[in-house]
């Protein structure tokens, strides 16, 4: 079965082709096409995962082309990491597509939505299966393009079109770094193949400069910073909420943002070998995590809270990877994919049902949308790290990994983020589903195709954590193995993570159920902090002031330079060319042509003279001949 791994991305690609070319005719049948393709991929992925668990891995590649001593290859790599990701991506993708049937119902570009989703999943699966950095980069960019298409799917709305552009451009900045990083590594090691890189670094580390490895690792991390929305390139993700909610669920749970973490995990050998590169990863992770978590505390848009929560959780994964918790980071990537997809789809159901996105306008929705509310509760419990749900186990492993790194400041901050996570998630839950309805909203019940994905994801959110828990002997970390990790459970860490999680939930309960006056009072008394958080640390404004506007000025200058100097030079050349041509034309017309005509005239005039000799009278000719003969005789005789 492992040999058929290449089929997995091909199914969604086929669905994309069908939906793009015949989608208009298929109309509502375009959804089953995409879903069937996804189902095929999911089945193969699961079979492959089963075989990989039993110890089978496979790498197949062919030489694509060769330049000098550098060989470029195309191939796929099926190991524990990619097999796990394949299952997560196809499962979440499938559920999101099923959900989209109801959510996108009646949209004018219904078939295109499914085409883009299929292309997106194709790119992501290709990225996961890639066995070398260059191929990864190609699919990486494809993921970027698809995210652009999907985020600005409703491009009639200016904010959506802008968000798509922002996501794409921000990602491009990171991608430039990624490309430099992979080029450096490729040049330095002579190979871009993951397995060969790991082998080289593991067995022949002598003679390799740590500095160069660190440089390439940090540059590759730039790409991950862009895709996984880490500080300072996280700004695109909250804006990307302009896209349809299923897209948010797909992009921000299982595919695009996971790509960054996946990339770091894939090229972990380079990070481990490079000097200080893991530290960079963990510091960026904690900055992102803390900042995004604190912003999420005060946001009021249901999707934006989730967006910042995603950024924060991705920071968590980065912290884990940065502190050596390879399996912990990947584990959290998996569990997060399930519960974050669940939460986004819940938010989608809520938005679909009541037509607003501001949680201050909602409230008391529990009775009206029982399935959504229950699954959302499960998602919130999972992300807050309440045992025994999946988030608890993965978060616990991350905390253990941070704790073992010995950096207590980092550990404290990580715990704080866990506390904030629990608080803002339950703030969202309480404001949306509990209390009294704050505004009269017309609720229409979500379709069953929108409920079932929620239920399935909720089941995964509850149980997917067990595979990595001590209860199952850390099966997950043994499966996703990079290097020996401390895997004995640390009960102190476990208890502290439960305490901060419950504390966050309790605080949210006190603030938003028990005495709803407190948050407003706090916002009044700490208005500088509140404003700082509400305005997202003014990062967008800072970028606008210090990067975007100077850049725009530069482009304007470049434009006027282009317009007046370059275009001017071109026009001047053109004008002078015309003038020279005029002169040349005159010369040609009057001098060259004149000479030609003169010669013709002269020939004509001579002909005019000499034609008189041709009298046509035979006797004249005879006379002439005779005269000529006489002349010749005289000449011969006397001269």
Q: Strand, helix or coil at 367?
A: coil
Question: Least distance in Å: CB of 603 to other proteins?
Answer: 15
The token pair at 163 is 């968000």
Question: Least distance in Å: CB of 635 to other proteins?
Answer: 20
Question: Least distance in Å: CB of 611 to other proteins?
Answer: 4
DSSP 2-20: GGGGGHHHHHHHHHHHHHH
Contact (Cβ atoms closer than 8 angstroms) between residue 515 and residue 434: no
- DSSP at 233: S
Question: Least distance in Å: CB of 621 to other proteins?
Answer: 9
The token pair at 48 is 């492959």
Question: Least distance in Å: CB of 627 to other proteins?
Answer: 11
Question: Least distance in Å: CB of 609 to other proteins?
Answer: 11
- Beta carbons within 8 Å of 123's beta carbon, 6+ residues apart: 139, 142, 143, 145, 146
Distance CA 317, CA 330 (A): 7
Question: Least distance in Å: CB of 605 to other proteins?
Answer: 14
Cβ proximity to other proteins: between 408 and 624 the closer is 624
Cβ proximity to other proteins: between 526 and 621 the closer is 621
Cβ proximity to other proteins: between 67 and 618 the closer is 618
Question: Least distance in Å: CB of 631 to other proteins?
Answer: 16
Residue 163: C-alpha distances to residues 157, 451, 538, 548 (Å): 10, 28, 17, 15
For the segment 568-627, give every residue that binds other proteins (CB under 8 A): 611-612, 614-619, 622-623, 626
Cβ proximity to other proteins: between 54 and 614 the closer is 614
Question: Least distance in Å: CB of 619 to other proteins?
Answer: 6
For the segment 382-411, give every residue that binds other proteins (CB under 8 A): none
The token pair at 439 is 């505004």
Which residues are bridge partners to 358 per DSSP? Answer: 301
Question: Least distance in Å: CB of 633 to other proteins?
Answer: 14
The token pair at 368 is 């009206």
CB crowding 248-274: b at 16 or more within 10 Å, else e:
bbbbbbbbbbbbbbbbbbbbbbbbbbb
- The number of angstroms, rounded, from the C-alpha of 482 to the middle of its chain's C-alpha atoms is 26
Which residues are bridge partners to 67 per DSSP? Answer: 70
Cβ proximity to other proteins: between 612 and 637 the closer is 612
What would the x/- binding string for other proteins be over residues 270 to 299, using CB under 8 A? ------------------------------
Cβ proximity to other proteins: between 576 and 627 the closer is 627
434: number of CA atoms within 13 Å, CB side?
A: 17
Distance CA 152, CA 257 (A): 17
Contact (Cβ atoms closer than 8 angstroms) between residue 428 and residue 302: yes
- Which helix (H) or strand (E) segment is 44 a member of? helix 30-53
Which residues are bridge partners to 60 per DSSP? Answer: 76
Cβ proximity to other proteins: between 409 and 609 the closer is 609
Cβ proximity to other proteins: between 65 and 610 the closer is 610
Cβ proximity to other proteins: between 22 and 621 the closer is 621
The pair phi, psi for residue 233, each rounded to 5°, is -105, 25
Question: Least distance in Å: CB of 596 to other proteins?
Answer: 25
- DSSP at 76: E
Question: Least distance in Å: CB of 604 to other proteins?
Answer: 13
- Other C-beta atoms closer than 10 Å to the C-beta of 63 total 10
For the segment 509-568, give every residue that binds other proteins (CB under 8 A): none
DSSP 273-324: HSTTHHHHHHHHHHHHHHHHHHHHTT--BHHHHHHHHHHHHHHHHHHHHHTT
Distance CA 270, CA 515 (A): 52
Cβ proximity to other proteins: between 520 and 630 the closer is 630
Cβ proximity to other proteins: between 409 and 617 the closer is 617
Distance CA 464, CA 628 (A): 125
Cβ proximity to other proteins: between 525 and 619 the closer is 619
Cβ proximity to other proteins: between 573 and 620 the closer is 620
* N residues, the chain: 639
The reply to whether 639 sits near other proteins by the rule CB under 8 A is no
Question: Least distance in Å: CB of 625 to other proteins?
Answer: 11
Q: Strand, helix or coil at 402?
A: helix
Give residue 473's region: left, alpha or beta (phi > 0; psi -120 to 50): left
Binding-site size for other proteins (CB under 8 A) equals 11
Residues that bind other proteins (CB under 8 A): 611-612, 614-619, 622-623, 626
């Amino acid at each position: 079965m492992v040999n058929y791994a290449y089929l997995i991305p091909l199914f969604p690609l086929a669905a994309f082709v069908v939906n793009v070319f015949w989608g208009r005719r298929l109309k509502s049948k375009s959804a089953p096409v995409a879903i069937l393709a996804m189902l095929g991929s999911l089945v193969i992925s699961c079979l492959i995962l089963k075989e990989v668990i039993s110890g089978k891995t496979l790498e197949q590649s062919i030489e694509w082309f060769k330049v000098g001593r550098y060989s470029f290859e195309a191939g796929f790599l099926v190991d524990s990491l990619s097999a796990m990701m394949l299952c997560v991506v196809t499962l979440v993708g499938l559920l999101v597509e099923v959900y989209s049937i109801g959510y996108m119902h009646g949209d004018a570009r219904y078939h295109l939505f499914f085409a883009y989703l299929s292309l997106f999943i194709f790119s992501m699966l290709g990225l996961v299966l890639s066995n070398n950095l260059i191929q990864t980069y190609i699919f990486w960019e494809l993921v970027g393009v698809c995210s652009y298409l999907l985020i600005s799917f409703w491009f009639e709305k200016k904010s959506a079109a802008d968000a798509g552009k922002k996501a794409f451009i921000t990602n491009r900045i990171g991608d430039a770094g990624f490309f430099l990083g992979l080029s450096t590594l490729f040049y330095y090691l002579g190979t871009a193949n993951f397995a060969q890189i790991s082998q080289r670094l593991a067995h022949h580390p002598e003679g390799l400069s740590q500095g160069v490895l660190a440089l390439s690792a940090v540059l590759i991390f730039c790409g991950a910073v862009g895709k996984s929305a880490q500080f300072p390139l996280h700004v695109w993700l909250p804006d990307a909420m302009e896209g349809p909610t299923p897209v948010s669920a797909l992009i921000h749970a299982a595919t695009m943002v996971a790509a960054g973490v996946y990339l770091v995990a894939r090229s972990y050998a380079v990070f481990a070998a490079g000097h200080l590169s893991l530290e960079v990863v963990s510091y960026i992770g904690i900055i992102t995590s803390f900042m995004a978590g604190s912003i999420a505390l005060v946001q009021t848009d249901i999707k934006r809270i989730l967006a910042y929560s995603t950024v924060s959780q991705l920071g968590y994964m980065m912290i884990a990877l940065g502190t050596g918790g390879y399996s912990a980071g990947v584990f959290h990537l998996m569990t997060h994919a399930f519960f974050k997809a669940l939460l986004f789809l819940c938010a989608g159901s809520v938005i679909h049902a009541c037509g607003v996105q501001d949680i201050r306008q909602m409230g008391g929705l529990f009775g009206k949308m029982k399935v959504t509310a229950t699954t959302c509760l499960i998602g919130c419990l999972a992300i807050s790290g309440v045992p025994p749900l999946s988030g608890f186990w993965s978060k616990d492993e991350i905390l253990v990994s941070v704790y073992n790194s010995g950096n207590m400041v980092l550990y404290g901050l990580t715990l704080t983020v866990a506390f904030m996570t629990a608080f803002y998630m339950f703030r969202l839950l309480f404001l949306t589903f509990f209390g009294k309805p704050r505004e009269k909203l017309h609720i229409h019940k979500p379709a069953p195709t929108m409920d079932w994905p929620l239920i399935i994801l909720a089941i995964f959110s509850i149980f997917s954590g067990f595979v990595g828990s001590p209860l199952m002997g850390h099966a997950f970390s043994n499966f996703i193995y990079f290097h020996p990790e401390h895997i004995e459970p640390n009960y102190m860490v476990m208890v502290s993570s439960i305490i901060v999680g419950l504390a966050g939930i309790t605080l949210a309960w006190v603030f938003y159920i028990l005495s709803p006056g407190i948050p407003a009072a706090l916002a009044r008394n700490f208005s500088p902090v509140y404003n700082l958080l509400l305005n997202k640390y003014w990062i967008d404004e800072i970028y606008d002031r210090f990067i975007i506007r100077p850049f725009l000025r530069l482009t304007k200058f470049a434009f006027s330079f282009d317009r007046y100097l370059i275009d001017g030079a071109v026009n001047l050349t053109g004008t002078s060319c015309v003038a020279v041509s005029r002169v040349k034309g005159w010369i040609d017309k009057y001098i060259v042509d004149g000479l030609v005509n003169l010669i013709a005239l002269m020939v004509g005039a001579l002909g005019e003279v000499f034609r008189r000799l041709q009298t046509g009278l035979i006797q004249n000719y005879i006379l002439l001949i005779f005269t000529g003969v006489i002349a010749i005789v005289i000449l011969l005789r006397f001269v």
